[in-house]
Amino acid sequence: MGINLLQVEMDEIRKRLNREPDEAEWRVIDAVWSEHCSYKSSKIFLKSFSMESPNVIMGITDWQDAGAVDIGNGWAIVVKVESHNHPSAVDPFNGAATGVGGIIRDIISKGAKPIALLDMIRVGNLKIRKNVWLLKNIIAGIAAYGNSIGVPVVGGELSFDDTYNDNPIVDVAAIGVVKKDRIKPSIVNRPGLKLVLAGLTGIDGLGGASFASRKLSGENEIGAVQIADPFAGKIILDVTLDIADKVEAIKDLGGGGLAVAVTEIANGFGAIVDIEKIPLRVKDMDPSDIIISETQERMLYAVDEKNVEEVCEAFKQYEYPCSVIGEITKDPIIRFRYHNKDLVALPSDLLLNPLRFIWPIRRIKKSNEKTTVQLPPLKDAISVVLSHPDLVSKEWVYSQFDYEVNTSTVIKPGHADSAVIALPNGKLLAVKGDANPDLCYEDAYECGKGIVAEAYRNLASVGAKGIVAVDHLQFGDPKKPEVYYTFVEAIRGIGEATRFFNIPIVGGKVSFYNENSRGNPIKPTPLIVMAGLIQGKLLKNNIEDGLDIVLLGYTHGELGGSLFSKMFNISAEVPKARLQEDLLSSELVIDAINEEKITFAKDVNRGGLIATLFNVIVHGYGIEIDSKSILSDSDNTLETLFSENGGRFIVLTNEPEWIIDRAKSRGVVASIIGKVNRNSSLLKIDDTIYNLDNLVKNYFNFLEEVTNNG
């Protein structure tokens, strides 16, 4: 049958039904009970996340396609994050493009207008030609869909590691806006509603949910990848927003196709679907294939009978297929009929309540002993770390995106730590996505806390305070005790940090089985996407000659999980997430922005202080630093300059005394560590000058040269 269920699950299904399911029923159960759709190995732990906040309108509730929070003046934002990892590994263009299309439909399923996209991409070593091919086509797929549909890609991440050689990570987040009294549910609350399907069903994406719930086999799996059609997606977007007030519930057809969409929208009621009424792209499709097909650009609507004609008429104006395929019933059985004969007749309760699993865990013991390996000279360390592709300009990527469509983009990609977009209520929203796989590999708990804190700091660097987050948890096979341990620990850290900052998590995704064909898992890659409102003034980052460089926060000599330790294979202590320091320093930065006391702010993270300062140098300036003025618990210059511990910002100012005095009153450590000058590409540390001209050229040219030659 080609299904992906465990024997214990199959036995349980037979027991609950008291019979043997038909083949079509097995395929439906396989889709609905897949890890991708049911969260059967994660849901128990996800309940530890807090969604309690007076601003939360719609949070982590079963079968809602996205979360929503109140932003004032009668408006709400809708937030969602998704991935298309396995499809992008097999067909990077369509895998990435359909990831964009899918998350757009999640947003409009709430009746919200999508206004921004973020893409967080991780691929393998660019010395391998296949990875260059993957990267180029992933970027092309995102650009093709986002540009065609008219939603700007305003920010994201791009990083590289050997762990992603066969299994790239392609995360896409989206933001939408809607009047809060017009938010639509993805589930019904009464029987008798008609099920209306818009779009054609084809043979692409067959078994996609099951495909995403197992490791890549290395075989030809192209049939499990959906095909993108952004122009059809634009019709779905426009018409759905036009008819939203005419429907009771809206459900995107994603993983599991109609099998999952019908089951979830029914919300414990039953449904009858007549398969022969489903508009097809391919003639003579097998009826069971129709049920589980994951063809894109389809939406399912629950509609009161009196509004059905008006809903379908809106699609007919675009000559887009729209058909009544069934209805919601009081009898809690999900039925898929073919010419009045039941192919599938399964209780809603069975489908919506799969077995939950808590797998064995085994702690990975890593040494916290400081290495005795010979440390490199500072000059070599600077050159090696700043040459890493994680730190180069990403302009080659975002230049392919139309990031100013709809004219709501306030800060363009690459100009600050967070993207900023204008909202219809006159407010400004900052958004950022953060992950740190190297740190998670060393300590998933500290990493979970750290990525929440980093996202919070990134918002503060433009003047925003975080108000909401979504998460995406990406790991290998959960049945492997070491993998499951990192998953549980990451959740523990994320939960602790979001509760500390009072940031509700209103949605997310879990992606397991991110492994290559040899069974090697990716590094643990939890991701936080956070959004926040500008608290007063907006900082756009300006650099001038003569500005003082002030470091906020205390530097700890913790090199574990850092880019430095990765490049030089050094074992060291992992940085602890000191959340109070992150909070206080972030509040200070926001105050300084509102008081117009700083012109530039950047939090210290990947690459440590050196990489943060390099972001000043690449704008055509030089800097001079007194390392003795850096307040640190280490007397080792390498530890001080390359540690990636949190709680820190570099700010540029003409009024350093104000910063220092305000820091003292807030309990924040602060010190003047240097000045900006006109000596382009020169970094002076104490009495030594380093010419970074070649590193600056590499910063701007690396990605374009690699992709052109690859």
- 666-687 pLDDT, tens digit per residue, is 999 999 999 999 999 999 999 9
Q: Is 256 annotated as a binding residue?
A: no
Residue 372 has pLDDT above 70, yes or no: no
Please report which confidence band the pLDDT of residue 50 belongs to, taking 50, 70 and 90 as the band edges: confident
Q: pLDDT value at position 213?
A: 46
Residue 86 assigned as binding residue = yes
Q: Is the pLDDT of residue 199 over 80?
A: yes
Measure the CA–CA gap between 156 and 172, rounded to whole angstroms.
Answer: 9
Q: Is 82 annotated as a binding residue?
A: yes
Beta carbons within 8 Å of 547's beta carbon, 6+ residues apart: 599, 600, 652, 653, 654, 675, 676
What residue spans define the domains of the chain? 185-339, 355-392+541-710
d(CA 614, CA 416): 14
Q: Provide mean pLDDT across the span 12-25.
A: 97
Q: What is the pLDDT of residue 475?
A: 96
Q: Quick: pLDDT tens for 107-135.
A: 999 999 999 999 999 999 999 999 999 99
Q: Which residue has the tokens 């929070």?
A: 69
How far apart CA 68 and CA 58 sit, in angstroms, is 5
Question: Of 36, 388, 472, 556, which is the active-site residue?
Answer: 36
Name the E strands within 143-277: 153-160, 169-179, 194-198, 249-252, 270-274
- Residue 517: the pLDDT is 74
Assign residue 409 a region: left if phi > 0, alpha if psi is -120 to 50, beta otherwise? beta
615 is in an annotated binding site: no
The torsion angles phi and psi of 567, rounded to 5 degrees, stand at -70, -30
Q: Which of 142-156, 172-186, 240-254, 618-632 has the lowest mean pLDDT?
A: 142-156
- Work out the average pLDDT over 309-318: 96
Average pLDDT of the residues in 641-647: 97
Conformation bin of residue 184: beta by default, left when phi > 0, alpha when psi is -120 to 50:
beta
3-class secondary structure, 106: helix
Q: Please provide the DSSP assignment of 176-203 as one string.
A: EEEEGGGPPPSS-SSS-PEEEEES-B-S
Q: Distance of alpha carbon 656 from its chain centroid, rounded?
A: 37
Is the alpha carbon torsion for 292, 295, 300, 306 positive or negative? negative
Query: Are the beta carbons of 459 and 432 closer than 8 angstroms?
Result: yes
Domain topology for 185-339:
Phosphoribosyl-aminoimidazole Synthetase; Chain A, domain 2 (3.90.650)
Q: Kindly report the number of other CB atoms within 10 A of residue 672's CB atom.
A: 16
Q: Which amino acid is at 616?
A: V
62 versus 668: the higher-pLDDT residue is 668
Q: From the candidates 84, 388, 472, 556, which is the catalytic residue?
A: 84
Segment 287-301 shows an average pLDDT of 94
What average pLDDT score do residues 439-447 get?
97
Per-residue model confidence (pLDDT) at position 368 = 53
What does the mean pLDDT of the chain come to? Answer: 92
CA 362/CA 483 separation, integer angstroms: 8
CATH of 355-392+541-710, one of 3.90.650.10, 3.30.70.1230, 3.40.50.300, 2.60.40.1080: 3.90.650.10
Q: What is the pLDDT of residues 237-291, one digit of tens each?
A: 999 999 999 999 999 998 899 999 999 999 999 999 999 999 998 888 999 999 9
| 511 annotated to a ligand binding site | yes
Q: Based on the residue annotation, tell me whether 84 is a catalytic residue of this protein.
A: yes
Is it true that 185-339 and 355-392+541-710 share their CATH fold? yes
pLDDT digits (tens, 9 = 90+) for 336-367: 999 999 999 999 999 999 999 999 999 877 65
Residue count of the chain, please give it.
Answer: 710
Does 544 count as an annotated binding residue?
no
Q: Residue 186, class by beta-carbon neighbours within 10 Å (0-12 exposed, 13-18 middle, 19+ buried)? A: buried
For 69-82, what is the mean pLDDT?
95
Whether the pLDDT of residue 692 is over 60: the answer is yes
How confident is residue 518, by pLDDT bands cut at 50, 70 and 90? Answer: confident
State percent of the chain over pLDDT 70: 95
Categorize the per-residue pLDDT at 369 as very low, low, confident or very high, splitting at 50, 70 and 90.
low
Q: Is the pLDDT of residue 208 over 70?
A: no
Q: 0.85 cut: is pTM over it?
A: yes
**Are 211 and 221 a contacting pair, CB within 8 Å?**
yes
CB atoms near residue 23 (< 10 Å): 12
Distance of alpha carbon 254 from alpha carbon 208, whole angstroms: 9
**pLDDT greater than 50 at residue 222:** no
Contact 553, 648 (CB under 8 A): yes
pLDDT given at position 62: 63
DSSP readout, 660-702? HHHHHHHT--EEEEEEEES-TTEEEETTEEEE-HHHHHHHHHH
Confirm if 194 and 496 have CB atoms less than 8 A apart.
Answer: no
Residues 504, 510, 512: CA angle, nearest 5 degrees: 155
For residue 176, is pLDDT > 70? yes
Q: Is 662 within any annotated ligand binding site?
A: no
